[in-house]
Every structure is written in C-alpha cells, then in structure tokens.
Amino acid sequence: MANWVTIGLSTGIKTSPYPGGADSASGVSPGRPTPPPSMPSDGRAETLSARCPVHAITPRPGGVAIDQGRCVHCFRCAYDGDGVGVPWESGYEWACYPAATHSLRARLDRRFGRSLHIRYVDAGACGACISEARQLNNPYYNIHRLGFLVTPTPRNADVLLVAGPLSDAMRLPLRKTYEAMPSPKRVVAIGACAISGGVFGPSFISAGGVSDLLPVDVVVPGCPPPPLAILHGLLLVVERKPPAVQTMETRATAAESA
Amino acid sequence: MVAEKREIELCRAPDILETARRRWQGQATVDLNRPFGSCRIEVCADALRAVCQWLDEEAHYMFATLIVEESPGAIWSLRYLFYGASALWIEVVIHLEGNGAIVPSLSNIELGPSYDWHEREAEDLFGLQFKGHPRLGDFVLHEDWPDGVNPMRRDFDATRRPEFPRHESAWQPAVIVSAPGSFAMPVGPVFADFAESAHFLLETVGEDVIRTIPRFSYKYRGVEKIAEGQPVDRVLLLAERFSGTAAFAHGLAFCDAVETICAIEVPTRAKAMRTLFAELERLRHHAATIAGICNSTALAVAASQAALIEEDLLRLSCELTRHRYLFGAVTPGGMTVDLDEPRCRRLTKEIGDFAARLAKLRDQLRYSSSFLDRLEEVGVVSTGAARSYGLLGPIARASGIARDIRKLRPYAAYDAADFSVPIEREGDGYARLRVFFEEAENSAAIVRQMLQILPPGPILVREFAWRSGAACAAVEAPSGAAFHYLRLCEGCIVARYRVTPPAFANWHGFHVAAESFAFQDFPIILASFGLSNAECDR
C-alpha cells in the first residue's frame, strides 16, 4: 500500500499567490491581443480587421478596437510575417461586466464573499473551458481556500457558471437550473462562446451566447479563459476584485459604428 | 514526395482491386479513384449489405465513416468508407434519388453496431430512411425538433433558428424497466461537478444497476453544417474548437485533408513538429484521464498528483506554442510556431521528468489495493463487443484490439517514430488505466525521438495554389482514430466537411460496459472511458 499521506506532504505547497499577489509562473495564461495606443492610418487597421476571422477587430480613428468577447485566441492578428500585428498583453484579470452601462443587480450580501457556492452548466462548450474550470480544483488554484465551493445541487448555488454558445438542447436544462437557484443569484459566462457565440453561433442550433436566455452579470473572455481568469470572475462577483480595466465597452462601440 | 508515395501505394492496389472485381463480378463496378486515393466499389442498393459484410469479415477492412452528399434535385451519393493497413481507402458507393430515399440498413449484420449511429445520424440530419433499422429518430435532434426538418439538406438555412412549438416534455425511452421495486434513476445532463452535458438513465432495483440508457447530442452545434460555404481558414477554427481537449489532433487532420487536395508538400521539420505536438497533447489528455479515474475513486492525493502533471503540461504547451490547448499551432502548409534551440533543450529535459512522474504514480497506484478493487472487473467490454461496436483507441486496446492509425497509415513523421502499441485483454477499468499509462509514457518517448531527429529548415509553405477536390485524412486522436473528409470547391471554400471523431464510436459502446454493476461504480466506469461529449456531439 502506497503511503499517500507522505506522498502528499512531500509534494510541498503548490498554491498560486493569486489573489493575494500576482502569479508570474509562465504558461498560466495565453495572454490576449490588446489595441495599440495609436496606429498610423496607412491601412494597417483595415488589414488587421480583415485578418480576424471572427470580426473581433474593428478599425477606428487612430487605431483599432478589439472586442474581447469575440476574440478566440487564434493568433492571426499576432502574425508578424508582414510586420503588421497587434501587441500581446500577458495577464489574466479579464473578467468584467457585460456592458459599460451595466450595474450589478442588488449587491450580493458581503457574507457571500467567503462562502460562494458554484453550480456549473455546460451549454455546448468544446471541453477546453470545462477543463480550465476543472483546474480550479487542482492544487495550484485550489479555490476551496477562498471559500468557493462547487455544489452538487442548484438549490444551494449562488453562482451559475456557464460555458458554451448555448446549444438548442441545453436551453431547457440551463433555464431549469437557473430557476431552481434561490435569489440572490449571479450568472457568470465563461469563454468567447458563452459571451458571443464564439466560432459556433449564432446559428440554427446555437444561440449567440448565454445572454440570449439568462441575465448575465459577469463575463470572462478568453478561448478558453485560463483558470486564473475564471477565478478573477468569481472574485468579481463577490466584489473582492475590481473588473478588468478594459471593459466590454469596445464591443458596444463597435456595434454602434457598424 | 507525398504524391510519389501515394503513386507507389496505388500501384500495389491491384491486389484488392482484382480480388474485389472477381468477387463482385456483375454486381459492382470496381475501379481506382486516383484523385481520392481509393478503390471505388459502386453497387446498387441491394448489394450494399453483402459488399460491406465481405469487406468487414473476409477482406479485413475496417469501417471508418458514412459520407452522405446531396446534389441538386435530391440526388444522393452515400459512401461507406473503409480503411486497412495501407494508404488506400475502400469506398462502397450507392446512388439514390428523391426526398426521404430508402437505404437498406446495415445495423443488423454482425458488425452492425458500427453502422448503427451513422445511420441514425443520417436519418435525422438528411431525412434518409434506413429500411430495417430498429430505432430511428430522436438522436442528434431531440424530440421537440419537428420531423421533416433536416438541417444538413442543401436548402436548409443554417443561419437562423427555425421556429417551432417547444413542448419541453421530459424524455423517456421507448422501453423501460417495469419490475416491482425497480426504478429508473436519471443522471445528467447537468452534473454535480465540472462535467460535460450528457444524460444517463440507470435502470435499477436498488443497489444494482441492470442497464444504462445513455442520451447524447445535448451539445450538437452543427459543425458540419456551419462549415459549408466557409473559407478554409475559418473552418480550421471549427476543426480545432469542436473538441478543445483534442484540438491539435483534429486541426492536424483538417490540415492534412487540405494539403492532400492542394498537393502541398509539408516541410520535414513541420512534420516532425506535428508529431511532437500531437504526442504532447496525447500525454496531457491521458494525464487528465488518469486524474479523472483517481478522482472517481476518491483517491485525493493521486488525483492531485495527476492533476499537477496535467497543469504542468498545459503550462509547458503554453510556453511552447503560446496556447495552453495548442490552438492555432497547425495550419495548412505546416506550423505557425517554431521551436528554437533553448526551447528544444528545455523540452528534452522536462519531457523526461513527466515520464518519470507518471511512472512513479503508476507504481504507487499498483500497490493501492483499495484503488484496484474499484477498477478491476468493473465496466468490462469484451473483445467481441469492442469489435462489433468498432471501438477505437485506448478503449479498444484495453479490450484486445490494437488498431492504431499511427501504425496503419503513418501520417506526419510517424514512420520515423519507434514505439509499440500497448494491448491488454481484460477490457475492465484497470486494463484501460494501464493502457492510458503506457500510451502516455510512449508519447513522452516519441516526443524525445522527434527532438532528436528534428531537422533544420522552414516550418511553413506559404505559397501554394488552391485546388478543388475531395480528400479524407485519418489521424490517431488521443481517444482513437478520427476521420476528416473534406470537399473543397473553387476559391478555397468548403463544400462538405464530414467529421467522424473517435468519441462517436466509443460512446456508442459505453452502454456495454455500464450493465449489471453496483450504483457507486457508475462514476468510475464513466471516468475510465475518458471520453469527450463535445467531440462526439460536434
């Protein structure tokens, strides 16, 4: 019989310094494109916009706007073969409110700050978002230490974590789960699919994100968002962390100008 | 070189070509389909069954996929694609006409279960009628979806959600247990933990489960339909993202099909790197499966150890390719990221550490009797069942079937890789765990071999001419053989994309393992299959 206690203890502490400090281990996040502060108006913005297969990049005076809710981390805009590319930011504090005008519904009671029960629903995700969410329970991220718990029943849940573009067959299970949760409750959409439909939606069988069915309180962009980004989303729900500096405003602006 | 190699293979083809001609004289037209690289057997619907049975049982070819294509005026071509131990495909083709054309079902022959789901899928999505199939309807599209609305038909608008009344009635299978004291316990589609959406109805008489009735396609996203009419570059995103945990394998298969159509010769460095990353992905996938199995038996420390290996591999993948799941690394013509000298050195060192950590974990688990008790003789799949369901990959290997695309039809640089395919006979949870461990260690060894032979040179062919045509690519994805059929028309537009992932065959066989077991074993059986629903549902 292997001595699992000794094996566990001899592994040492692996826990991420986040949220107390920044996690600087390499490979914790793929990073994401960020709009450069300025760009010469020589057609570069248009080139970049045309290169983005999911229409996340829109030219605007003096540069480009990037809709992080659409970006699927395909790296097409980072190619530097012809010298045209956008800067790539590292980091993972990406969670934000869905729109600039958004105000949180009645604030979650402070007491939720250290005891938040999470219910997860897969609304057609590819498996990468689920895999990243699952990593939250591994020894590196270990969300139990923050009082975040995954609950086996919606009746105990405070937060509904949803990934995927919302496939047709998952509409009913998702709605039933939401309705079974007691108020106050929050919905967190994780990944480009859950925010905008990603590469799949909207189509005949997928919606253009979870907000087609449920009110979304917090979005975590990324394809997939790394575990620390999802963790930031949960911390944002209980207001233990502020939202990302770059909000989803760009998306609304881009939609207006289109 | 690829073209040359194919030419050699095609020259060897006369064997099967002549045999098929002699055997099916007067009943079938047999010729060589050079552009597609196949032996084409055209039959009338009546002879379909006999020819497929002959290929399965006497010629020892294996069924890969059913490709349905519709031409204007409801003219159908159905291709039953088979593969063997050469680069040559065998396609059995029938032509039909009319809406709701009738096709003889193959689901009741000896290897019928291999065809079963392909037929149900074609019935749901194309409206074809499979005569003699015992159970059609309510498969990909659940019961609220109206009959006669078939999304894969040419005239179906894929951009809009069709309007129809939704009754939202609870699903119930046609036949359900009705003995005194028995009940059916629903599990899913929403689970207690981070799990993918699928539904299982466990028929039980208390502690013992008699039968499991699974229901899938909760995650059907119509990948094949929404790919139609899109440029290659856009469809590559779908190929990578329909199953995120096997993104590199599926992206590679898609690129391979594009390269075959456009006759692109991939640089040797890119080929070696493709093999390297495909194995890195397999290693990570298997580490995740092992973590899942340990977790299902509540062996927390072992689960944590495996999860640490998985997370470390994700971080390593991110450092090497910029993405934790290797998205965007492969592209038609080669690779988008190169490995420089320091990275190669680091990888050489780290891959050895991963292999050592896995070997240590395997040995520790081997001496944990309480853990083995939960796995041994649990979720057994016999060799016969594995064969008739056409199971693939590690699941089939645990049941005594050593099929591996890397050996049968070597792609990328697998002909330069020296590895053995593990095989176990018992077909239980522990046999599957052993296969996952051994394959993961082999993957680490292949990564090391590729690093040793990694030739210098370019990694990408940027200039090539787009051509129209059709091709099918096969790769060994982490959970088994994946077949990507692609037809391109003018201007690098996808006309038809047919994806047959390994999970499609393996989930079909899952219920065989989930029969007559104790209730608490269900999560263990589920975890020991290590399958993705996103991959199956597409």
Domain map (residue ranges) of chain B = 2-131, 223-453+466-537
What integer pLDDT is reported at residue A164 of this predicted model?
A: 93
How far does the CA of residue A206 sit from the closest CA of chain B (Å)? Answer: 6
pLDDT band of residue A252 (cuts 50, 70, 90) is: very low
| CATH superfamily for domain B2-131 | NADH:ubiquinone oxidoreductase Nqo5 subunit (3.30.460.80)
Looking at the predicted structure, is the pLDDT value of residue A255 above 50? no
Q: Measured between CB atoms, does A91 come within 8 Å of chain B?
A: no
Mean pLDDT by 10 residues, chain B (538 residues): 51 72 85 87 88 85 92 89 87 88 83 86 90 84 84 88 79 74 85 88 85 90 93 93 93 94 92 95 95 92 93 93 92 90 89 92 90 90 90 93 89 90 91 94 94 91 88 93 93 92 92 86 91 91
CA distances from B262 to A90, B3, B219, B527 (A): 37, 11, 32, 40
Between positions 34 and 63 of A, the ones with CB within 8 A of B are 53-54
- Residue A248 has what pLDDT? 47
Residue A253 predicted with pLDDT over 80: no
Using an 8 Å CB-CB cutoff, list chain B residues near A163: none
Among B142, B244, B304, the residue with its CB nearest the CB of A169 is B142
B305 contacts chain A (CB < 8 A) = yes
| List of chain B residues whose C-beta atoms are within 8 Å of the C-beta of residue A202 | 159, 161
Q: Looking at per-residue confidence, does B101 or A118 come out higher? A: A118
- Residue B113 confidence (pLDDT): 84
Instruction: Identify whether the C-beta of residue A198 lies closer than 8 Å to the C-beta of residue A192.
Output: yes
Q: DSSP per residue over B126-168, as a string? A: H--EEET-S--SSSSS-TTSPTT--TTSTT--TTSPPP-----
Q: Are B256 and B241 in contact (CB under 8 A)?
A: no
Q: What is the CATH number of domain B223-453+466-537?
A: 1.10.645.10
| pLDDT at A254 exceeding the cut of 50 | no
Q: What is the pLDDT of residues A189-200, one digit of tens each?
A: 999 999 999 999
Partner B, chain A 152-171, Cβ-Cβ below 8 Å: 152-154, 164-165, 167-170
Structure confidence at residue B13 (pLDDT): 56
Average per-residue pLDDT in chain A? 84
CB atoms within 10 A of CB A190: 30
Structure confidence at residue A191 (pLDDT): 94
CA dist A241 and A237 (Å) reads 8
CATH 3.40.50 fits A32-90, yes or no: no
Say yes or no for a CB contact (<8 Å) between A72 and B241: yes
CB contact residues (below 8 A), chain B span 123-142, against chain A: 142
If one compares A249 and A9, the residue with the highest pLDDT of the two is A9
List the single range of A110-119, A177-186, B467-476 with lowest mean pLDDT.
Answer: A110-119
Q: What is the DSSP letter of A17?
A: -
Instruction: Specify which of A87-91, A135-139, B104-108, B133-137 reaches the highest per-range mean pLDDT.
Output: A135-139
Q: Sorting pLDDT into bands at 50, 70 and 90, what band is A101? A: very low
B494 neighbors B239 (Cβ within 8 angstroms): no
Residue A249 clears pLDDT 60, i.e. is over it: no
ipTM: 0.90
Residue-range domain boundaries for chain A = 32-90, 110-244
pLDDT at residue A258 in the model: 38
B258 neighbors B332 (Cβ within 8 angstroms): yes
3-state class percentages of chain A: helix first, strand second, coil last, to nearest 5: 30, 15, 55
pLDDT of A256 strictly over 60:
no
Give me the CATH code for the A110-244 domain, please. 3.40.50.12280
Put simply, the answer to whether A204 touches B244 (Cβ < 8 Å) is: no
Higher-confidence residue: B363 or A106? Answer: B363
Instruction: Tell if the CB–CB gap between B195 and A122 is shorter than 8 Å.
Output: yes
Nearest C-alpha neighbor of A183 from the set A140, A154, A208, A223: A154
Is B315 in Cβ contact with A25 (below 8 Å)? Answer: yes
Q: B310 at the A interface (CB within 8 A)?
A: yes
Q: Write out residues 284-303 of B within 8 Å (CB-CB) of A.
A: 288, 299-302
Cβ-nearest to B222 among A126, A205, A226: A205
Measured between CA atoms, how close is B386 to chain A, in angstroms?
25
Looking at chain A, the whole-number percentage of residues with pLDDT higher than 70 is 88
Beta carbons of A152 and B156 less than 8 Å apart? no
